[in-house]
Chain A
Amino acid sequence: DTGVSQDPRHKITKRGQNVTFRCDPISEHNRLYWYRQTLGQGPEFLTYFQNEAQLEKSRLLSDRFSAERPKGSFSTLEIQRTEQGDSAMYLCASSFGESQPQHFGDGTRLSIL
């Protein structure tokens, strides 16, 4: 199965620590998205890459959040100085073209103690 993969699946850390998540999209997909989802809500858009270019960032993405996609393949999402409110499922998705359906990875569930 060559779907979207995310690592780690779960991350538990203390408040104030930095965390980094990785996403490997479907290989032929040039568009990559990061979302955050909390209980009872749909996925909320965080940021978007087309190839290696980060083309859009949500206002939800504070300066503690940074994302990269250095070679237009995998992407990383880093959260610095984590806060309790950062606890959520972080989802990565990829798609082949504009307005095409997005395919999600398993997500990384972040818990801040």
Chain B
Amino acid sequence: RKEVEQDPGPFNVPEGATVAFNCTYSNSASQSFFWYRQDCRKEPKLLMSVYSSGNEDGRFTAQLNRASQYISLLIRDSKLSDSATYLCAVSLGGFKTIFGAGTRLFVKA
């Protein structure tokens, strides 16, 4: 079993739709969680950290479920520019951060 798993997608949604991704992790000692966005042939860019109580940044909401060991990302009112690959990252503390393989999102007009 992979340490961090994501549904690769692709998710194809119309503009304005709400879409959600999950990311499961295997190590219950994981301490910090992040979502990154990666455009084709570009570097990952930090989208948001994920806090225990859940957090929101504009149209993006991130949540953590420690009991079931997953994090989620919700995107409301999808824009064409949201089309990208979304990577989750899980840190065990110290240096070690494990990245998922990413979920591809296509938003269509």
Contact = CB atoms under 8 A, between A and B. Distances in A.
Nearest to B95: A48
Contact of A105 (B34, B43, B91): B43
B42 A101 contact: no
B93 A107 contact: no
Interface string B43-84: 111100100000000000000000000000000000000000
Interface residues of B, number: 25
B95 to A, nearest CB: 4
Interface string B67-109: 0000000000000000000010101011111111110000000
B94 to A, nearest CB: 6
B31 interface: yes
A99 B93 contact: yes
Given A40-B8, A40-B101, A41-B101, A56 B87 contact: no
Given A44-B99, A48-B95, A107-B42, 19 more contacts: A33-B95, A33-B97, A40-B8, A40-B102, A41-B101, A42-B89, A42-B102, A43-B99, A45-B96, A55-B95, A91-B43, A91-B44, A100-B32, A101-B32, A101-B34, A101-B49, A102-B97, A103-B46, A107-B43
Interface of A: 31, 33, 35, 40-45, 48, 50, 55-56, 91, 98-107, 109
